[in-house]
Amino acid sequence: HEMIRLLILLNICWSSSCPNSNKGDAGCTGSRGPQGLKGDKGEYGKLGPKGDVGPSGSPGEKGHGGERGQTGKRGPKGYAGPPGVQGAPGLKGHPGVHGKMGHPGKHGPSGLPGRKGEKGQKGDCKEKKGDKGELGLQGLDGENGDKGEKGDLGEKGHCGVPGERGERGEKGEGGIKGEKGSKGEKGDLGPAGVMGPLGPKGNPGSKGARGASGKKGSRGIKGSKGDNSKVRRSAFSAGLSKPFPPPNIPIKFDKILYNDQEDYNPSTGKFNCSIPGAYVFAYHMTIRGRPARISIVAQNKKIVKTRETLYGQEIDQASFLIILKLNAGDQVWLEVGRDWNGIYVSAEDDSIFTGFLFQNVHGSQCRI
């Protein structure tokens, strides 16, 4: 390109220096010179007119996926498609949260009367018989009935007890001998003679019928009082003077009702066994305002635990009885649990703890 430009420039200078010269014939085309250096990039030309649409080219290879475009505006709602095939039932869901109770609906119109039901089966008559009612007022005397028929002849009564034999009378004075009379008639049977000597033992007879029961004999004379100075006793009974005792320690029943042997200590609330044997222990408690859990403690163990559940201002009673075998030196007392100490006392209500020796180790029962 530089060479071409140089030749064009020389031709222009030659033409200007010789304006009157005739134009010569074109010379022979010279040989193609060497390729010039690459020129500078020219300016962009104006946009030419739009050409005709060329023939469609063969489809090119599938290009790589472009970057995801921005989300377009939501299009109008499409028409509902045909219903799909029913799917398999899903797993059972968790129970939903219980909703709030709705407002009661309006009272609906009364329905048509139903058909008459069938007759029910006959009920069982196995219920317990009711309590006997109170005795009614005495009714008026009825009219005299007709005379009854003559009854049958009663059975023959038992033979009476034979009477005692009378005493023999005194001998009379001798009378004058009379004339011999004619033979008289046979006289009446005379009185029984004196019993003769016992004869020889006869053969045993057959067993007779059982005789009638004899009358009850008279009560015998009361015997003399026995000696009971050797019987040992042990018993007590005590009440509570203040309600709601403290928990987990012996309850101090300090209102003594009986404690002659002094085996119960009201300052500690404990019974001390001095005579080994079987003892009966019982309590009767008034419960109010709170529940109560009562334990019987013996030999440092909670032998029995009971409870009475009660709240508010209601009043109830709790009772218990037990027999325990104790050795000398054993101790027995009552306890209540924490927040379960509803044992109550007042001027009208009592709570009592009682115990006594029932049988000592020798097997003899003891009387209080």
277 or 115: which leads in pLDDT:
277
Which regions of the chain does DSSP assign to beta strands (E)? Answer: 235-239, 255-258, 264-265, 270-272, 277-298, 301-308, 315-326, 331-344, 352-360
C-alpha distances in Å from residue 146, one per residue of 38, 121, 143, 211: 169, 48, 10, 41
Distance of CA 76 to the CA centre of its chain: 66
24 or 340: which leads in pLDDT:
340
- What is the mean pLDDT of the segment spanning 360-368? 63
- What is the mean pLDDT of the segment spanning 233-248? 95
Give the DSSP letter of residue 195: -
Give the pLDDT confidence score for residue 161 in this predicted structure: 62
User: Where does the pLDDT of residue 240 fall: very low under 50, low under 70, confident under 90, or very high at 90 and above?
Assistant: very high
Query: So what CATH class is 242-360?
Result: mainly beta
Strand partners, 346: none
pLDDT exceeds 50 at position 125: no
Q: Alpha-carbon distance 164 to 211, whole Å? A: 22
Place of tokens 């064009």: 8
pLDDT exceeds 80 at position 130: no
| 363 backbone dihedrals φ, ψ, rounded to 5° | 90, 0
- What is the mean pLDDT of the segment spanning 279-283? 97
The total number of residues shown for the chain amounts to: 368
Q: Alpha-carbon distance 345 to 254, whole Å? A: 12
User: Strand 235-239 vs strand 255-258: parallel, antiparallel, or unpaired?
Assistant: antiparallel
Give the pLDDT confidence score for residue 230 in this predicted structure: 62
**Hey, is 235 helix, strand or coil?**
strand
What is the per-residue pLDDT across 260-270, written as a single tens digit (0 to 9) for each? 999 999 999 99
What is the per-residue pLDDT across 64-73, written as a single tens digit (0 to 9) for each? 777 777 777 8
Distance of CA 293 to the CA centre of its chain: 17
Q: Which residues contact 293 (CB under 8 A, 6 or more apart)?
A: 305, 306, 307, 336, 337, 340
pLDDT exceeds 60 at position 127: no
255 in Cβ contact with 242 (< 8 Å): no
Beta-carbon count within 10 A of 302 CB: 10
pLDDT exceeds 60 at position 15: no
As separate numbers, helices (DSSP H) first and strands (DSSP E) second, the chain gives 1, 9
Q: Alpha-carbon distance 253 to 230, whole Å? A: 30
| 105 backbone dihedrals φ, ψ, rounded to 5° | -75, 165
- The most distant pair of C-alpha atoms in the chain lies apart, rounded to whole Å, by 259
Two structure tokens written together for 343: 């044992």
Two structure tokens written together for 166: 């009378």
Following DSSP, what letter does each residue of 237-261 receive, concatenated? EEE-SSSSPPTTS-----EEEE-TT
Distance of CA 238 to the CA centre of its chain: 34
255 or 24: which leads in pLDDT:
255
DSSP alpha helix (H) spans, the chain: 2-17
The angle formed by the CA atoms of residues 52, 55 and 58, to the nearest 5 degrees, is 145
Place of tokens 């404690």: 259
Beta-carbon count within 10 A of 241 CB: 13
Following DSSP, what letter does each residue of 257-323 receive, concatenated? EE-TT--EETTTTEEE--S-EEEEEEEEEEEEEEEEEEEEEETTEEEEEEEE---TT-EEEEEEEEE
Place of tokens 């509803």: 342
